Copies of this chain bind each other. A is one copy, B any other.
Amino acid sequence: MWILRLNMTDRTYKLEAVPERYKNLGGRGLTSTLIYDEVDPMAHPLGPNNKLVFAPGIITGTSSPTSARLSVGGKSPLTGGIKEANAGTGWAPAAAKMRLKAIVVEGQPEEAGKYWMVAIRWEGDALKVEFMPADEYVGRNLYEVFPEVYARFGDKVQVAGIGTAGEFKYPNSGVVFNDMKDRPSRYAGRGGLGAVMGSKGLKFIIVDPTGAPGVEILNPELFKEGSKKMREALMEHPITKPKGGLNTYGTAILVNILNEAGGLPTRNFSAGRFEGAAKIAGEAIFETNKQRMGREIYNHACSPGCIIQCSNTLYAPDGNEIASCIEYESDWAFGADCGIDDLDKIGEMVTLCNGYGLDTIEAGVAMGVAMDSGVIPFGDADGAIRLLHEMGKGTPLGRVLGSGAAMVAKTYGNPRSPTVKGQAMPAYEPRAVKGIGVTYATTTMGADHTAGYTIAPEILSVGGKSDPLASETAKADLSRAFQSTTALIDSSGHCLFIAFAILDIPSGFQGMVDEINAICGTSMTGDEAVAMGAEILKRERAFNEAAGFTRHDDRLPEFMKYEKLPPHNVTNDLPDSVFDAVFGNL
């Protein structure tokens, strides 16, 4: 296993054997540790001293199901703290099979505005790494560029890259990866890591795993056993099984559920229920497709080897794709949060984000803040589409929006900024779902549901039950437990959605631990594995502290303290001590 270092100052590279201390790390555990070890916390995110790290998970590249996740890490231009964003993509197992434990992008070209790409392939029994100019792809929509890249490099390659958002160095700019149909649609979206890539003059990293040796598994028997347990759990759980909730309605199945719970943030977090929810829900996507295509269409996988297969496609009446896929978060961000109930327009906006290289959550919430500030009215879908084009083209207003929700709020003098640590809140109202609010406030990542998804017990009755409206100290314990386990899952290479299955089916959790032990040659217990997750959090937290973060950054925005959220008319009434107890007791 190697760490590949790409030096963008002089376009050279170095292949290093993986040091002993990194051997049992992968995914988020490895990106966060490398950033902690090598990046000055006070470095400017877009300066020469930040680094960008790509790391497949520990299990990624194996035959275990739903394990094609990749972590991307760096110091975030959006939050100013450590960032791990992850995506499911064929790029991840490809890199893992090429025995690339991590790719570390370093330095910065002297000359601004020039772009390069790096092609990595397996030749004989060695990796070949080549730098090439990429200027011809700059300033263009990724839906136009990806086919050209595939035509040039062949259909075996996997592509990581940035769109114009990353070139403009937007705090809202993701790192894009191809999906199973070579669309530019899988994003390590949050926190602006696309801008870090852009600041290094790096447009694409193209990997071709043809002939690669594959992932080494130290204990194949144990691995077989573990992945069988995982597979069985995923096949059994009603949320994750084929034709189950996610496979049928996609993640947007949550729209109606959160709306019912009064926790669907609406019109820039001014209400918890959206009158147009049913029109944009996962069920509506399923029914729309059925009507338009004349048959029931179940969802597809975002990446090879997934059982859950939760990625939908929204088809136009003429059978063309409007978007693939519309996740719950994107659906909500451009839908309820902007007061828009037109599914086709929402689909168009998602596709624009993919084409320009934007994170949909940040883009949608930024739009909601802009609407709340009077830039365009709530519900103005065509206006929102026009503004997304401005973002993609880099007009002044586009740059403001591309800088994220907090910056829109600041630029327009609006105190209603639904952000933590500068990052936009996702699709769960923290006043109506208290535990997720504790996660938003305290995670090292800025407001992020995936960092500790307490929605499972609070809304879905998965992994126990917890009253979403209860302002109780126990929410700190709940969030902490979820955050630690999540850091483990994000390191494993499994998709976070396996959590639905393994929270309810203990053998599934044991399966994941078995897999990790099998690959690493370790013999961790489940508790030790979760403790490893907690260690990752502590490292991230230490980085953030050295970057200037304090407990005062672990807070929800002030307006949520004094504005009552309908329909439950609730405020954020958790005392600060609950937020402080999350990491205070880690």
Contacts and interface: CB of A to CB of B under 8 A. Distances in A.
Interface of A: 40-49, 77, 168-171, 195, 198-199, 395-397, 399-400, 403, 407, 410-415, 417, 546-550, 552-553, 555, 557-559, 562
Contact of A195 (B403, B413, B558): B413
Nearest to A550: B548
Contact of A170 (B44, B46, B198, B413): B413
B169 A44 contact: no
A559 B42 CA distance: 11
Contacts of A553: 548
Given A46-B413, A399-B412, A548-B553, 18 more contacts: A42-B552, A44-B415, A44-B557, A46-B414, A47-B558, A48-B562, A49-B562, A169-B413, A171-B410, A198-B413, A199-B415, A395-B396, A396-B397, A400-B400, A403-B410, A407-B411, A411-B411, A547-B552
A416 to B, nearest CB: 9
A75 to B, nearest CB: 11
A169 B555 CA distance: 24
A414 B395 CA distance: 16
Nearest to A399: B411
A457 to B, nearest CB: 29
Contact of A413 (B42, B199, B397): B199
A549 B199 CA distance: 28
A45, A198, A558: residue with the most chain B Cβ atoms closer than 10 Å: A558
A504 to B, nearest CB: 39
Contacts of A199: 413, 415
A515 B125 CA distance: 86
Nearest to A168: B413
A372 B400 CA distance: 18
Contacts of A195: 413
15 contacts: A42-B552, A42-B555, A42-B558, A43-B558, A44-B417, A44-B557, A46-B413, A47-B558, A49-B558, A198-B413, A199-B413, A399-B400, A399-B411, A400-B400, A407-B411
A195 B410 CA distance: 11
A559 B40 CA distance: 13
A558 B413 contact: no
A414 B399 CA distance: 13
Nearest to A192: B413
A550 B546 CA distance: 10
Contacts of A557: 44
Contact of A546 (B47, B399, B411, B552): B552
A335 B48 CA distance: 29
A42 B407 CA distance: 18
Given A403-B411, A410-B407, A548-B552, A558 B44 contact: yes
A400 B396 contact: yes
B47 A415 contact: yes
A498 B38 CA distance: 49
A555 B412 CA distance: 28
A169 B552 CA distance: 24
A171 to B, nearest CB: 7
A40, A199, A400, A415: residue with the most chain B Cβ atoms closer than 10 Å: A415
A181 B199 CA distance: 50
Nearest to A47: B415
A48 B412 CA distance: 16
Nearest to A408: B399
A477 B267 CA distance: 52
A410 B199 CA distance: 13
A411, A547, A555: residue with the most chain B Cβ atoms closer than 10 Å: A411
A414 B170 CA distance: 10
A535 to B, nearest CB: 23
A559 B413 contact: no
Nearest to A45: B415
A48 B561 CA distance: 12
A541 to B, nearest CB: 14
